[in-house]
Amino acid sequence: MANALHNAAMTCGFPSLSTLRAMHKGKHIELKRMAVPIKAKSNSDFDDSGVDISLSHRVDAVKLSKTLAICDHATALSQSGVPVIRLFFGESDFDTPAVIAEAGMNAIRDGYTRYTPNAGTLELRQAICHKLKEENGIIHSPDQIVVSNGAKQSIVQAVLAVCSPGDEVIIPAPFYVSYPEMARLAHATPVILPTHILNDFLLDPKLLEDNLTERSRLLILCSPCNPTGSVYPEKLLEEIAQIVAKHPRLLVLSDENYEHIIYAPATHTSFASLPGMRDRTLTVNGLSKTFAMTGWRLGYIAGPKHFVAACGKIQTQFTSGASSISQKAAVAALGLGYAGGEAVSTMVKAYRERRDFLVESFRDMDGARICEPQGGFYVFIDLSSYYGRQAEGFGLIENSDSLCRYLLEKGQVALVPGSAFGDDSCIRISFAESLSTLSTASFLSFPMANALHNAAISTITFGDDYSVSRCFFPSPSTLPFRTMQKGNHVELKKRVVVVKAKNKSDFDDVEVDVSLSHRVNAVKPSKTVAISDHATALLQAGVPVIRLAAGEPDFDTPTVIAEASSAGMNAIRDGHTRYTPNAGTLELRQAICHKLKEENGITYTPDEILVSNGAKQSVVQAVLALCSPGDEVIIPGPFYVSYPEMARLADANPVIIPTQISNNFLLDPKLLEANLTERSRLLILCSPCNPTGSVYSKKLLEEIAQIVAKHPRLLVLSDEVYEHIIYAPATHTSFASLTGMWDRTLTVNGFSKTFAMTGWRLGYIAGPKHFVAACGKIQSQFTSGASSVSQKAGVAALGLGYAGGEAVSTMVKAFRERRDFLVESFSKMDGVKISEPQGAFYLFIEFSSYYGREAEGFGLIENSDSFCRYLLDKGLVALVPGSAFGDDSCIRISYAQSLTVLKTAVERIEKALILLRSAALL
């Protein structure tokens, strides 16, 4: 059983769908369908209809992260009783230092569990700026920092922000597994430059210079390096900087995640601190490695404001801000002192002892070559001399993949093949485990190596040219560095400016191309996030603004989830602060399956669930997984602000179908049918709806389902994040529970709204395994798994009882009271139209009768944007213009605030409207 499981895992568990790959023809593609007859899990009159299960071209092009695949597989083996020693993962065996853990628990205890600004809390960004100045010699301001759900997200957002199709991303090999896949996600070309074990796996500046072209856009450097542990000396970085300075288009992403895990006499140099490099360098770092905070999911990017703002723009439409709890813990981490103080130095001392043990051990092993790592907690060992040998009871050792399978099967030691990192001659061993564990692994592995050695002597004869020094990586003269894809590059549109670096330089006044990717220019930032951040800034400046913009309950996370005796606190206290499987913990996915069956009438298995950093991430990954350029995403308007931008991120076309206030903003099935074409790929439904509060009846959904069933290419994404915030007699129906819809529906939900867990950043998607696996494939290269602390809290939330039990019903009762007050209040106002919401906590009110009026001291009210600016200026009430949701006649008001606050807000709005009416009469 173990061997069968392993073989499945080592192929990454996802079948190649090369026959489905989209063929580029300019901006759109030929539709390559894979329509198969399927049988829905629900009873159906049209179960055996053809459904197109093809995936987007990007899913087929991107590989699943091998490290995550191996981790998930080794975890499964351990859970089945196989005593696997796991030396594959970049995760410290140390617990998060006590002072950091305590800060996280205090955040929960003090109710610091709400949304933060998209870029991260000001407190944390200021702490990061202080750290960068004191430890790295780089000066940045808080608006040059974006905090994300881990360093991986920071990197991929940077690649997406600066690289357009056809651009080249220069990557020294061996490389971190996700770098090439991130380039492919941006439709850029990864250009791999090999390094050699004899040169400590360091990039040769001449090789770099020889391979730069006018399309070279981004150079990624990682020091200390994952997987090799190599550390770039300052002198070598200066040579590279001189080359970079000659190329205005070339930017540098400096991945410094392991900067403090370094062994003297090696020292760390930040690339941005070098002469002339600050204005073209994006520095990425995180808390996971240095502070043993892998499960907290927190990283950041620092750089020129122009580029960092573009990264933040993408983040507004992908995940929004990171966990509020983790951000509080990070402030404590950065307060431990220079380079993490004693807590970090203690860990580094242990890592050094482990490194020395492994280096000495493997130097004694026949046929092994090793380069002593100067940082990180990995050794990258050349074992290619064992390739081509037969192992009794196993078969032929062909490459690093089969060698790792052999060591897992025969030695029960899980390692990562070098092929994952771009060098098939090696394997990576993590020494982020105790010395006793490493000793056991060596004890088990040595007999395996000896067995292979003996097998080679008895059964295989190599030619004279075969030796331990054999390297399977091609030489620079023979390696095809660059594979340009026809039709997959764009005209270079440069925006070159002359910048003066803030640090002293021999080449301060240099040209730098500050142009951004086409996708950043096409995508709009989230207006709700922008308005919420602006209102927060006004409050911090002492302006008494009433914030009715953000969709965030004013209730604290229910006690059983948040307080000292509960899951979130216990997760930290018990050390549940490590990486989880990419798809989420089995415990949480099982709880989600139980909830969906009992509450929604939909049956799923855990491998049909993917947990993410919020429902927003779940939605955008589904769009990226299913939609190729030229596909159409059908979106009823008014819509959640991010839906059209998510379609644009996938190079798909958002098709907006308007609804009317007179029809409670519900989609007309006839209008839907009239707008469907052969390119219609995804219909997004949101019920209860943000921003209108409309709830789709079962009868109306059944009419829509009958139309969907006629179109094999059309899939449905059902956003049900507000499902339990609903007011009788309205009831919620899950689209996947309808006749024939299970096999073509992806259901998205989360914990933010129902359980007042906005700051915990937790959502999920459920659907057919084929589609959910594709979403997981993208997630493996974008953020990896969600916060381990939040997942424990999620299990507790789903254990509160049907529909959240008394805790949720108490909140819903309060929301209903507030809704009734607002509906009654606004119904009495002149020039206002209102549709009574049946769910969620928003009113979408038409105020267009006030457009065209002049306000004294303000000017003309032209549209919903200027109307909201007027109410903020004159009434100090922050609302969201309807233009953000696709209906400029309305504004959205959130009643996720206390009745007292809402009464004050209504008074302020009414006074402001009276002034407008008076101005109109004059």
> Of 81-95, 106-120, 573-587, where does the model show the most confidence?
106-120
Predicted confidence at residue 451, as pLDDT, reads 60
Report the alpha-carbon distance of residue 878 to residue 901 in Å, rounded.
Answer: 12
Q: How confident is the model at residue 331 (pLDDT cuts 50, 70, 90)?
A: very high
Q: Structure tokens of 366?
A: 């026949």
The top-scoring range by mean pLDDT among 133-147, 397-411, 531-545 is: 133-147
How far apart are alpha carbons 531 and 583 in whole angstroms? 32
The dihedral sign for the CA sequence 796, 798, 800, 804: positive
Helices (H), 676-804: 698-708, 769-782, 788-798
Q: How many CB atoms lie within 10 A of CB 914?
A: 12
Mean of per-residue pLDDT scores for the chain: 85
Q: How confident is the model at residue 449 (pLDDT cuts 50, 70, 90)?
A: low
Judge whether 113 and 107 are in contact, CB under 8 Å. yes
* Whether pLDDT at 634 is above 80: yes
69-91 confidence digits (pLDDT tens): 676 677 777 777 778 888 877 78
Determine the 3-state secondary structure of 30 from DSSP: strand
Where on the phi/psi map is residue 579: left (φ > 0), alpha (ψ -120 to 50), or beta? beta
Burial readout 739-765 (b: 16 or more C-beta within 10 A, e: otherwise):
bbbbbbbbbbbbbbbbbbbbbbbbbbb
What structural domains and CATH numbers belong to the chain? 112-339 (3.40.640.10), 344-453 (3.90.1150.10), 527-551+808-918 (3.90.1150.10), 567-803 (3.40.640.10)
- Return the pLDDT at 505: 42
The pLDDT value recorded for residue 389 is 93
CB 245 within 8 A of CB 511: no
> What span, in angstroms and rounded, lies between the C-alpha atoms of 826 and 824?
6
Least confident range from 45-54, 120-129, 133-142: namely 45-54
* pLDDT tens by residue, 699-723: 999 999 999 999 999 999 999 999 9
Distance, in Å, from the CA atom of 306 to the CA atom of 786, rounded to the nearest integer, reads 28
Q: Residue 485 above 80 pLDDT? A: no
Amino acid of residue 525: P
Closest listed residue to residue 176, CA positions, set 420, 494, 350? 420
Q: State mean pLDDT over 372-393.
A: 94
Angle at which helix 66-79 crosses helix 2-10, to 10 degrees, equals: 170
Closest CA to 432 of 511, 389, 373: 373
pLDDT of residue 268: 98
Cα–Cα distance for residue pair 347/261, rounded to 1 Å: 8
Q: pTM for the complete prediction?
A: 0.84
Span 403-411, average pLDDT: 87
Q: What is the pLDDT of residue 57?
A: 77
**Which pLDDT score is estimated for 91?**
80
Q: State the Cα–Cα distance between residues 807 and 135, nearest whole angstrom.
A: 46
Q: Could you tell me what percent of the chain has a pLDDT over 70?
A: 84
Task: Report the range out of 51-55, 534-538, 663-667 with the highest average pLDDT.
Answer: 663-667
pLDDT at 476 over 70: no
CB 649 within 8 A of CB 616: no
> By CB neighbour count within 10 A (0-12 exposed, 13-18 middle, 19+ buried), where does 441 fall?
buried
Given a cut of 60, whether residue 788 has pLDDT beyond it is yes
pLDDT of res. 453: 59
Rounded average pLDDT over 656-676: 97
The whole-number pLDDT of residue 448 equals 56
- Residue 497 — very low, low, confident or very high, per pLDDT cuts 50/70/90? low
The 10 Å Cβ neighbour count of residue 126 is 16
Report residue 216: phi and psi, to 5°. Answer: -70, 115
Do 656 and 635 touch, CB atoms closer than 8 A? yes
> Could you give the percent of the chain with pLDDT greater than 90?
65
pLDDT at 468 over 50: no
Among the listed residues 314, 860, 885, the one whose alpha carbon sits nearest the alpha carbon of residue 549: 885
Q: Which residues of 194-205 are buried (b: 16+ CB within 10 A; e: fewer)?
A: bbbbeebbbbbb
| Tens of pLDDT, residues 281-302 | 999 999 999 999 999 999 999 9
Q: DSSP states of 98-117 as a string?
A: HHHHHHHHHHHHTT--S---
- Residue 500: which residues within 8 A CB-CB, separation 6 or more? 508, 509
Closest CA to 611 of 642, 590, 594: 590
Backbone angles phi, psi at 172, to 5 degrees: -65, 140
What is the reported pLDDT for 571?
Answer: 74
* Per-residue pLDDT at 883: 95
| Residue 132 or 453, more confident | 132
Pair 406, 447: CB distance under 8 Å: no
Pair 282, 312: CB distance under 8 Å: no
Dihedral in degrees, nearest 10, Cα atoms 22, 23, 24, 27: -50
Q: How many CA atoms lie within 13 A of 280 on its CB side?
A: 33
524 or 768, which is more confident? 768
Say which residue, 484 or 550, is predicted with more confidence: 550
pLDDT at 638 over 70: yes
Identify which has the larger pLDDT, 405 or 34: 405
Amino acid identity of residue 169, one-letter, is V
**Helices 586-600 and 788-798, axial angle in degrees (round to 10):** 30
* pLDDT value of residue 653: 96
Please state, in angstroms and rounded to a whole number, the distance separating the CA atoms of residues 108 and 88. 32
> What is the distance between the alpha carbons of residues 911 and 259, in angstroms, rounded to a whole number?
57
What CA–CA distances, in Å, run from 146 to 155, 335, 396? 11, 19, 48
* Structure-token match 């998607």, residue found: 765
What does the pLDDT look like over 55-74, one tens digit per residue? 887 777 777 666 666 766 77
pLDDT per residue over 840-887, tens digit each? 999 999 999 999 998 888 899 999 999 999 998 888 999 999 999 999
Tokens of 479: 């390696």
Closest CA to 260 of 150, 379, 332, 340: 340
For residue 64, the model assigns a pLDDT of: 67
How far apart, in Å, do the first and last CA atoms of the chain sit? 84
- List all residues 6 or more positions away from 728 whose beta carbon is below 8 Å from its beta carbon: none
pLDDT score at 35: 53
DSSP state of 703: H
Per-residue tokens: 521: 């220019």
Asked if residue 18 lies in contact with residue 36, where contact means CB atoms within 8 angstroms, the answer is no
